[in-house]
Structure 1
Amino acid sequence: MSHQWSMQGEYLESCNCKGACPCIYLGNPTEGECTALVGWHITKGQFEDVDLSDRNVAVALHSPGPMAEGNWKVVLYIDQRADEPQQEALSSIFGGQAGGHPALLASFIGEVLAVEYLPIQFEMEQGRRHLKLGQSAETEINALEGQNGTEVTIRNHPFAVAPGETLVVAKSQSLLYRSYGIDFDLSERTAYYSPFAYSGS
């Protein structure tokens, strides 16, 4: 059954790759495998008659090789502030059942380790993003400084969480996750952020 839905907002990803992450160019992760936190802050969203605005979603993932080859293990985190209809809508969208670009991303998943509902903080400041998932995970990233103090950006990369958007290239000050056998405690690694817009019908 199809559903009418749309959402827009801001996303970030923070992973274990060193330098520029080759995964977004369909290449091999610099460390052979990829572990990452990906978070979305929905500034405006609607699933049928359910308002999804000002809610957050996140995924912790492990990819055993190039991300485009799939077989990811993931944990899906839904904002604890979401009521039951919002939880169901967000689970359907980010689980891939509602179509749109999230369904494409979900097609790379080999195993969903868990779905959890917990407090998710997604903070946005000029050149800085911060994502915290209860006591389970956290990442803080800062944009790299480019020519004349401008942002370093990437556009038209083939493997995109937010297709059509320009990525701001960042570096993690911290990247921590320890749960469900996915463990990392890193810093000074690759990160990106950008707006996103998804829809389905």
Structure 2
Amino acid sequence: MSTEWKMQGEYLESCTCRGACPCIYLEPPTEGDCTAMVGWHIKNGHYGEVTLDNLNIAVVLNAPGPMAEGNWKAVLYIDERADEQQQEALGAVFGGKAGGHPEILASMIGEVLAVEKHPIGFVIEKGHRHLTIGESHEARINAIEGQDGRDVTINAHPFAVAPGHSLVVAKSRSLRHQSHGLQMNLSGRTALYSPFEYTGP
């Protein structure tokens, strides 16, 4: 019998593409391939009887072509604050074994380079998000200011990490990762964030 689970919170992604992200429209990355850092802050969540409130999780990945075509190489980072049951639950959900939308995302992965536990921080401020993994990896992003100071948003995009939610368009102030062959040290590139809600199975 499958375990019932649900979670909601905030997610962000920051990648090496320039300008508007073509991946969410099923188009090739702007520079041939795309390396991205994706993070989730689980505000409220449970996996069966296991609570997942206030935990964070992140994935760093490389897509060799259009992201929706898969064959990603990926590293999964699990919040070191999670106890053994929580780690197993997060691994099941984000590893694609527990159903729901994460199963679709995990099906895009061709090779898991590593699964590691680290301190993961996720700062949420107006117009600003900051994901940290350990001491050396981070995605620091700012929303792009639109008309009358409003957020610039994207709706109903065909490739979505958080289906059903409008994306806020942002730009990276810092995108750094130097591990497992996935190397980034950039700024001024594409970034996005939104709420998310996943359920399964």
**TM category, shorter:** over 0.9
Determine if the alignment matches structure 1 residue 162 to structure 2 residue 172.
no
User: Displacement of 1:3 after TM fit?
Assistant: 1.1
The residue identity in structure 1 corresponding to 2:143 is A
Q: Where does residue 80 of structure 1 map in the other structure?
A: 80
Q: Where does residue 12 of structure 1 map in the other structure?
A: 12
Q: Where does residue 135 of structure 2 map in the other structure?
A: 135
User: Displacement of 1:2 after TM fit?
Assistant: 1.3
TM-score, scaled relative to structure 1: 0.99
Check the 8 A contact 1:136/1:179 in 2, yes or no: no
- Give SS of 1:138's match: strand
The residue identity in structure 2 corresponding to 1:170 is A
User: Once the two structures are superposed, what CA deviation does each residue of 1:103-150 show, in whole Å capped at 9, x if it has no partner?
Assistant: 000000000000001100000000000000002410100000000100
Equivalent residues in 2 for 1:73-152, closer than 5 Å: 73-152=73-152
Sequence identity (%) = 66
Q: Where does residue 175 of structure 1 map in the other structure?
A: 175
Q: Distance in 2 between matches of 1:20 and 1:160?
A: 15
User: Displacement of 1:185 after TM fit?
Assistant: 0.6
Q: Where does residue 48 of structure 2 map in the other structure?
A: 48
User: Displacement of 1:84 after TM fit?
Assistant: 0.3
Structure 2 residue runs of 5 or longer lacking an equivalent are none
Q: Where does residue 185 of structure 2 map in the other structure?
A: 185
User: Once the two structures are superposed, what CA deviation does each residue of 1:162-195 show, in whole Å capped at 9, x if it has no partner?
Assistant: 0000000000000000000110110000000000
Moved more, 130-139 or 7-16: 130-139
Aligned residues: 201
Q: Distance in 2 between matches of 1:137 and 1:31?
A: 22
